Amino acid sequence: MLAFSEIYCHFVWRISDDSPKLDKLTRRLAENFIRDFDEKFGYECISVCALADHIHFLAKLLPGVAPGLLIVRIKDELSEYLKVKLAMNTPPRWDNRYGIVSVSKSHLEIVKKYVEAQKIRHRDGKLNKTLERTKA
């Protein structure tokens, strides 16, 4: 039986305070990983942006995918991927916390632009507190 799902989520997670920042190459590899492995994890990547200390991405979840389990799995497998791809002895350590916000279809373009403009928004201090939040 085929299932239908129209669930969109914005995800954000940070590296641990005691972890080195993500350099340019690591950020690019992280973005590619999130784009390229979307089918494996059960989502369609709409937009992704990795910064030095955190990652944002917007996705459509496929049927049966639990958002909380998805983000934990991505964080774990992304660390392993970076170990192999960059031969990193110590890949970035992710903070245990993360943020997930459901997004209505009518707001997808707004949130997509928000993700794509992360570097500028952080530089200018024009942040959405809800979309940046990783703790209760």
Gap between the Cα atoms of 74 and 37, Å rounded: 9
pTM value is 0.92
Q: For the domain made up of 7-132, give the CATH fold.
A: Alpha-Beta Plaits (3.30.70)
pLDDT in tens, 104-126: 999 999 999 999 999 999 999 99
pLDDT in tens, 56-84: 999 999 999 999 999 999 999 999 898 88
Domain ranges of the chain: 7-132
pLDDT in tens, 26-63: 999 999 999 999 999 999 999 999 999 999 999 999 99
Strand partners, 100: 11
CB distance 27 to 51 below 8 Å: yes
Gap between the Cα atoms of 115 and 11, Å rounded: 10
Amino acid code (one letter) for 76: D
Gap between the Cα atoms of 7 and 45, Å rounded: 12
Amino acid code (one letter) for 72: V
